[in-house]
Structure 1
Amino acid sequence: MSRFRVGVQLHPQQTSYAAFAEAVKHIEDLGVDTIWNWDHFYPLYGEKDGPHFEGWTLLTAMATLTSRAEVGCLVTCNSYRNPNLLADMARTVDHISAGRLILGIGSGWFERDYAEYGYDFGTAPGRLKDLGASLPVIVERWGKLNPPPTRKIPIMIGGGGEKVTLKLTAQYADQWNSFGPPEKWGHKNQVLTDWCNRIGRDPAAIERTVCPNASELGDLDAYVAAGATHFILGLGAPWNLDGVKKLVAWRDAQG
């Protein structure tokens, strides 16, 4: 088994459900380790009012369309759901997927989602404070649910804020995700390690994930040198899977 993992984030916009579902099945057949969507209500690029699907109901479908790859939202917006409800949703998808759910979560940033759906956008520090308050509630609720989760559901925290987000990651997360370039990602990764050391958490307990640009797939060595072990490629419709094939081949060649 490779010491590296690879995944794909399928953007649930500018597409039909049928096309999205077919892409999920095809990508699992290619051998990826993880398949993700995102948690927004409107497209992030292209036609601003184009087709778009909600992340968690879509995630349930992804769990039934697959049998091997782990699935998750990259990442859930903490603001959109009561944390007790989110914990129950995650537990339910954990069972539907036979223990393949990863709870990706972040503090939220896309103002249009908030404005159009009636959520208080507030401030970035306020949203981070809310995330910090929600995480222990989610974990506590998992301990109360009947039936309980099938496993300790991994928590992925997305973001790079050095004072709050990465501290929360050190406290609660099993995976961390951010973006490049490699020098920037590597710096944030070291800050996360420093937080782990400060609070007494084993830094190796947190899987380090990155979303490289498609142009970086030919040279992942810089991310590896910076500490990344899980590479997630973002794809929009129409789905060109050449990059996915390259990523899987790269992983398999590492041994």
Structure 2
Amino acid sequence: MTAPSQVDYHDVLQVWREADTIPEIEHAWLFDHLMPIFGDPSGPAYEGWTLLSALAAQTRRLRLGLLVTSNRFRPPAMLAKIAATVDIVSGGRLDFGIGVGSRPSHPLARHEYEAHGLPFHDTAHAVGSLAEACTVIRRLWTEAEPFDFHGTYVQLTGAFGNPKPVQGPHPPILIGGRSAATLRVAAEHADLWNIPGGDIDDVVRRSALLDRYCTEIGRDPASITRSIHLQVSYDQPSITRDAIGEAIDAGFRHIVLGLPAPYPADVTRWVTDELIITSAYYDSPI
């Protein structure tokens, strides 16, 4: 994962092009923020879906996505159109990541809404609108006829999506988040669930809670791939290798490695050699 902030576009492009040639690296990710949430507050921050489309056009193999799209930034029908376009540009390589958006407790993240004239609703609104967005987006990707949708948060009349995504029945849906309310949405809608790394015991508890919510609605918990984001340490790679091992032991087989900028020379080859191939847990691409 290359956070598209405090970094030059061409540096991100070079990393993705290099990763595209390394089969041990399966997927690549951006994040979705409109302003910096770390470092120089006046530094650059690229719009995620625009950049993702550009990178999709200049790679051939990597699966790709945003970890994760803020459902607060774009109306869901518009987002469905954007995502379908990227899936087509990429030749069917999109993993559609989405979440409620930034935590209210993060002042830098909240500021980006105010700076762009976007509403920042309470948690109940954010979670409820996420569930409706997932329903609407899937229908726009899959239904052949226009439809109306009258939800609590989303209102559509004559909604229709064309062209459809390349992937059938639709691109995999990855829902990111750790709150109980978000996990309930993931149990209903997600093909993959992602959580930021950290306290592995908490990660395990959240995964078990997702299992419980799946069981309550009659869904097989194993049908949701467990994904985790781990920050890479260039100076102490053993720390990252240990974190990878803990995550895999906890049932997380979809590992996203966050690369801090500036990127060292040949960083993707370094990641492959130091963190993937040398790991005792390595048996397939991550």
| TM-score, normalised by the number of residues in structure 1 | 0.91
Equivalent position of 2:249 in the other structure: 225
Equivalent positions of 1:126-145 (< 5 A) are: 126-144=125-143, 145=161
Structure 1 residues not aligned, in runs of 5+: 1-8
Equivalent position of 1:18 in the other structure: 10
1:48 matched to 2:72? The reply is no
Residue 165 of structure 2 aligns to a residue in which SS? coil
Residue 231 of structure 1 aligns to a residue in which SS? strand
Determine which of 156, 161, 165 is the counterpart of 2:174: 156
Amino acid at match of 1:218: R
Contact 1:72–1:104 under 8 Å retained in 2: yes
Sequence identity (%): 35
Structure 1, residues 85-107: CA drift from partner, whole Å, max 9, x if none? 11111111111111100110011
Contact 1:13–1:236 under 8 Å retained in 2: no
Equivalent position of 2:199 in the other structure: 181
Where in structure 1 do 4 or more consecutive aligned residues deviate above 6 Å? none
How many residue pairs get aligned? The number is: 246
Contact 1:233–1:244 under 8 Å retained in 2: no
1:172 matched to 2:195? The reply is no
Deviation, 1:200, is 1.0
1:198 matched to 2:233? The reply is no
Amino acid at match of 2:191: D
Contact 2:231–2:259 under 8 Å retained in 1: no
Contact 1:217–1:246 under 8 Å retained in 2: no
Measured in 1, the distance between the counterparts of 2:60 and 2:36 equals 28
CA RMSD after TM alignment: 1.7
Deviation, 1:223, is 1.4
Amino acid at match of 1:42: M
> Which is higher, the Rg of structure 1 or of structure 2?
2
Contact 2:188–2:214 under 8 Å retained in 1: yes
Contact 2:245–2:281 under 8 Å retained in 1: no
Deviation, 1:243, is 3.6
CA 1:18–1:248: 2 relative to 1, 3 Å: same
1:207 matched to 2:231? The reply is no
Structure 1, residues 21-52: CA drift from partner, whole Å, max 9, x if none? 11111122233111000110111211111011
Deviation, 1:231, is 0.8
Query: Which segment is superposed worse, 119-128 or 91-100?
Result: 119-128
| TM-score, normalised by the number of residues in structure 2 | 0.81
Equivalent position of 2:157 in the other structure: none
